[in-house]
Amino acid sequence: MGKALLPPNATAQELAIDGAIARIGDVEVPIANLWNPDLCPEVMLPWLAWALSVEPWDHDWPVWRQREVIKASIPNHRIKGTVGAIRQILSAAGFGAATILERLHRFNCDGQVLCAGTHYCGDPAKWPHYRIQLEKPITNPQALLVRAMLDGSDRAISRLDALDFTAAFFACNGEINCDGTYNLGVA
């Protein structure tokens, strides 16, 4: 410890604080690691996610998933508002591949196209609406999470109409129960 700069009449509390501050240089602070999702201490991951505008953040995700979502954040901000960003977000969060249907208004009501509820026939006001078709079923809470994730990543003018997984295969193997956790395919 170097020479204290306190006056000779310093109190015991001032001397104790001076002694504690004198050792601050001995504390290792790996600042570079705090900005690296792979090296950041687990307890600091929520703060790193906050600093990089990762939304939403789920504290219940496993640590490896939290690190992956943080890593995907910077490239996602570069392409924010694009179909590619939506695909990357869904993939990084573990929801798999998705088909994104845009321009749901482009058909005319002339009987040539069968509108099965996935498109708006002849409504030009619906041009910013889109729909996501997932390859596998998701639970209702997962659907809420996906919607929250997409609210922060799609264009401000866009509107997600539905998460559609009606084409996903529901096997009668006991993995999916009809207890309200899952619905019949559109969330």
- What digits encode the pLDDT tens for the residues 61-103? 899 999 999 998 887 778 777 788 788 778 877 777 788 877 7
pLDDT at 49 over 80: yes
pLDDT at 53 over 60: yes
126 and 41 in a common domain:
no
**For range 9-21, the mean pLDDT:** 90
pLDDT at 37 over 90: yes
Cis omega (within 30 of 0) for bond into 56? yes
pLDDT at 47 over 60: yes
Supply the mean pLDDT for the chain.
76
Point out the domain boundary residue: 80, 107, 133.
Answer: 80
Q: What is the pLDDT of residues 122-138, one digit of tens each?
A: 566 667 777 888 877 77
Distance between CA atoms of 125 and 143, rounded to whole angstroms?
25
25 and 107 in a common domain:
no
Distance between CA atoms of 185 and 44, rounded to whole angstroms?
37
Q: Strand 129-134 relative to strand 159-164: parallel, antiparallel, unpaired?
A: parallel
Percent of the chain with pLDDT over 90: 19
Distance between CA atoms of 37 and 102, rounded to whole angstroms?
33
pLDDT at 147 over 60: yes
71 and 59 in a common domain:
yes
CB 159 within 8 A of CB 131: no
Residue 98 phi/psi, 5-degree rounding, is: -145, 150
Q: Could you tell me which residues are beta bridge partners of residue 182?
A: none
Reported confidence tier of residue 140, pLDDT bands at 50, 70, 90: confident
32 and 91 in a common domain:
no
pTM: 0.49
Reported confidence tier of residue 165, pLDDT bands at 50, 70, 90: confident
CB 86 within 8 A of CB 150: yes
Q: Number of folded domains in the chain?
A: 2
In a domain, 2, yes or no: no
According to the model, what pLDDT value does residue 50 have?
93
111: three-class secondary structure by DSSP: coil
102 and 48 in a common domain:
no
Range of the domain at 86: 82-187
112 and 23 in a common domain:
no
Identify the residue whose tokens are 């703060």: 47
**Distant-in-sequence, close-in-space partners of 133: CB < 8 Å, separation ≥ 6:** 98, 99, 100, 101, 164, 165, 167
169 and 132 in a common domain:
yes
